[in-house]
Structure 1
């Protein structure tokens, strides 16, 4: 079970990692065999499936994102704790609202991520 404190700590650390643009700190939140789903994968021409299935490819994708959006800054609005998941609701690139669902492993890292953006 994800506690309120765990959800708050994960959300704060995740947002801070992105806002620092430190790729290694960002990647600390993900398992090696992560499944990452996002419509931005297609938008950034990374692949046509919209899914990344390992941390090595996720690193390449995040590098692309950080280069494409050099002024990237996320603003946390809220987080939600679930049984084995956390949802982070924030303002993303180009001021788009986003909610990401992080299904966590026993080690507290994301093993499955579902990114959802407001149109």
Structure 2
């Protein structure tokens, strides 16, 4: 697992740069990602399991559309919580929405599972 604060700062910086390849560089090819915003961005019924995507390519499509929808997107880091094999990044999200994103890492230090949570 990468150093939690360094990971969080780089992850936030990648999002604030709106650099999709840089964002995706943190994730494994077989990434599993969950967010309550997936259906809002891709449309209801766009995924086999509501609000869940599997595979970095599927997530890239979703994030590409999300970045286009929110051209002024900017995250502010609020905190980092570390677990045994995971970490959670607390941040201020789109429209000042408090958010927490939890990440689980594979043996190569890439995110293999992530889940976004919003207040």
After TM superposition, the score normalised by the length of structure 1 is 0.92
List, as ranges, runs of 4+ consecutive aligned residues in structure 1 with deviation greater than 2 Å: 45-48
Offset of 1:45 from its aligned partner? Answer: 2.8
Aligned to 1:78: 79
Aligned to 2:114: 113
> Hey, what's the Cα distance between the residues in 2 that align with 1:19 and 1:107?
25
RMSD between aligned residues: 1.2
Which blocks of at least 5 consecutive residues in structure 1 are unaligned? none
* Residue 29 (1) aligns with residue 30 (2): no
State how many pairs are aligned. Answer: 115
CA contact under 8 A between 2:42 and 2:62: conserved in structure 1?
A: no
SS, match of residue 42 in structure 2: coil
> Hey, what's the Cα distance between the residues in 1 that align with 2:69 and 2:28?
24
Offset of 1:106 from its aligned partner? Answer: 1.4
* Residue 38 (1) aligns with residue 35 (2): yes
After TM superposition, the score normalised by the length of structure 2 is 0.92
Aligned to 2:64: 63
> Hey, what's the Cα distance between the residues in 2 that align with 1:45 and 1:32?
20
Which blocks of at least 5 consecutive residues in structure 2 are unaligned? none
